[in-house]
């Protein structure tokens, strides 16, 4: 089990890498995270919602993502509490008090999910959440030492040295664990290191002598890994910073919504060598871009209000009028329509709000949640598309169809007089053919070179194998495997 000194220390990535190492050794392995708080989610082939991180980890194991790998998913909704997703389906919005009462029922769900997986695979790689030393949360713990004891798993505590203070974090975390938890802890891994490793040796020895636990490795900062981030922490660091408009590239502005979700939809765009993708909430940045994207959101109506408060609505319309491509994905698609109705106050306290009016459609929110994998075609160019849908609400689309499913149902629309289109499909840019088709429109307009046949392939598989190789080189993998009873 990998736990952390805090959130965002790299637990998810290390779990994925270790999953791939075990898979490469010929073992059957699956990931597990009892409770995940994230707006980055994934829809399984059975139509269940789970954390994106565990879906990526399942890919590292060479298996199909299963909701048992993340039985509880929390999706914060400002002003509406937190949506609690249990075994892939919404169980309602809850505040802290109601969720605390609900937790007792979740223990059984978590235990059953874990034991079912453990009965199917040789090994389970478990990810914790936050820190096991958050003393105010230990009584209700579902995800950290509670899971470690349940699984009888050796615990590796991960620290992010790039944040500073990693040795204090290690010592403090270990000191705040009780005797049973300390016995469960096998050691530490330093993550995100930039520099000469030998400089750390005195401090490493100090921690090992102080705690009696081994430092299993120092993992370097990995540039351009090409795997989705679990949450928006790293994404938010980039917002409105160092925005440079480059004349010989495709400059794509991604609007930074307060409740942005599934921002990994755009990882594949960043993998293109001639794409400059930047996140911004400044109106002036949009009109300097070649394409503007309104992404998904957990609170569509709230974020539409944010768009208006910032003056982004006028900038978006100006872009459409100036022949700059405007794209809406999921909530962004809804925002581009004429109106959003929320009579049941599902996502807000506003029963209806006008949209931007760039697409002829009306959306009505409802309690039901649409969760499905989809395949279809972009009618322009007759190009296959695929991905998944996660949204509340149904849209009455009167505009021109742009994307349809196999039954001819409209999954996206566009305009003929302006470069505006939208769709409900998350992950649509991961398909190379569709991505190339859209980007080539902008390349032709700017007079930029058109890539050869095949284009740039977005390939998480290569990234996972690269990650495994980096971990094998920079950790004591033999000792880690010995913890599992694997003799080299």
Query: What positions carry a catalytic annotation?
Result: 330, 426
| Cα–Cα distance measured from residue 261 to residue 347, given in angstroms and rounded to the nearest whole number | 14
Q: Which two tokens stand for residue 264?
A: 């990994």
| Cα–Cα distance measured from residue 471 to residue 476, given in angstroms and rounded to the nearest whole number | 9
Q: Which two tokens stand for residue 401?
A: 């169809």
CA torsion 163-167-168-171 (nearest 10°) is 140
Q: For the chain, what is the largest distance between any 2 Cα atoms, rounded to a whole number of angstroms? A: 70
CA dist 57 → 4, 270, 462 (Å)? 17, 21, 14
Q: How many residues does the chain have?
A: 488
3-state secondary structure of 393: strand
CA dist 384 → 324, 374, 375 (Å)? 24, 11, 7
| Cα–Cα distance measured from residue 74 to residue 230, given in angstroms and rounded to the nearest whole number | 13
In the block, tokens 């401090």 appear at: 203
Choose among 202, 213, 130: nearest CA to 175: 213
Question: 30-54 in b/e burial notation, b at 16+ Cβ within 10 A?
Answer: bbbbbbbbbbbbbbbeeebbbbbbb
Half-sphere exposure of 476 (CA within 13 A, CB side): 14
Contacts of 212 by beta carbon, 8 Å cutoff, 6+ apart? none
In the block, tokens 């249990």 appear at: 86
Question: 160-192 in b/e burial notation, b at 16+ Cβ within 10 A?
Answer: bbeeeebbebbbebbeebeeebeebbbbbbbbb
Laid out side by side, the sheet with 89-94 consists of: 35-37, 72-77, 81-86, 89-94
DSSP secondary structure string for all residues of 427-438: TGGGSHHHHHHH
3-state secondary structure of 83: strand
| Cα–Cα distance measured from residue 302 to residue 304, given in angstroms and rounded to the nearest whole number | 5
Please enumerate, as own/partner, the contacts of 93-102 that have beta carbons within 8 Å and a separation of 24 or more: 100/140
């Amino acid at each position: 089990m990998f736990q952390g000194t805090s959130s965002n220390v790299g637990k998810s990535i290390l779990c994925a890498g270790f999953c791939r190492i075990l898979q490469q050794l010929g073992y059957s392995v699956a990931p597990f995270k009892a409770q995940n708080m994230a707006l980055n989610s994934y829809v399984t082939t059975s139509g269940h919602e789970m954390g994106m991180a565990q879906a990526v980890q399942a890919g590292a194991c060479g298996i199909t993502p299963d909701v048992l790998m993340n039985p509880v998913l929390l999706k914060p909704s400002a002003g509406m509490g937190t949506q609690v997703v249990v075994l892939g389906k919404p169980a309602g919005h809850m505040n802290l008090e109601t969720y605390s009462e609900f937790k007792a029922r979740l223990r059984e769900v978590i235990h059953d999910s874990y034991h079912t997986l453990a009965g199917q695979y040789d090994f389970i790689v478990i990810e914790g959440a936050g820190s096991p030393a958050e003393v105010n949360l230990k009584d209700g713990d579902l995800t950290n030492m509670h899971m470690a004891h349940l699984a009888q798993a050796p615990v590796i505590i991960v620290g992010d040295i790039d944040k500073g203070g990693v040795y204090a974090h290690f010592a403090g975390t270990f000191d705040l664990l009780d005797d049973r938890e300390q016995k469960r802890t096998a050691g530490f891994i330093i993550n995100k290191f930039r520099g000469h490793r030998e400089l750390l040796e005195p401090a490493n020895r100090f921690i090992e002598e102080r705690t009696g636990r081994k430092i299993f490795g120092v993992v370097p900062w990995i540039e351009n890994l090409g795997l989705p981030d679990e949450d928006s922490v790293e994404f938010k660091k980039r917002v409105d910073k160092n925005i440079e408009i480059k004349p010989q590239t495709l400059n794509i502005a991604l609007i930074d919504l307060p409740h942005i979700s599934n921002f990994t939809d755009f990882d594949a765009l960043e993998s293109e060598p001639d794409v400059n993708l930047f996140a911004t909430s400044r109106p002036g940045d949009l009109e300097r871009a070649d394409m503007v994207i309104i992404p998904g959101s957990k609170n569509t109506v709230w974020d539409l209000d944010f768009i208006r408060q910032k003056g982004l609505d006028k900038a978006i319309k100006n872009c459409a009028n100036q022949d700059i491509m405007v794209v809406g994905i999921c909530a962004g698609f809804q925002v581009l329509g004429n109106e959003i109705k929320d009579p049941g106050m599902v996502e807000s306290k506003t029963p209806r709000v006008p949209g931007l009016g760039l697409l002829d459609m009306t959306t009505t929110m409802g309690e039901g949640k649409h969760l499905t994998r989809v395949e279809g075609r972009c009618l322009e160019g007759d190009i296959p598309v695929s991905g998944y849908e996660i949204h509340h609400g149904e849209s009455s689309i009167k505009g021109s169809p742009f994307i349809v499913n196999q039954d001819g149902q409209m999954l996206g629309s566009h305009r003929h007089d302006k470069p505006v289109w939208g769709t409900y499909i998350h992950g649509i840019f991961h398909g190379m053919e569709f991505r190339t088709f859209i980007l080539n429109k902008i390349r032709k307009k700017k007079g930029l070179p058109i890539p050869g046949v095949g284009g740039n392939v977005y390939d998480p598989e290569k990234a996972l194998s690269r990650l495994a190789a980096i971990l094998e080189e920079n950790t004591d993998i033999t000792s880690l495997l010995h913890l599992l009873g694997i003799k080299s």
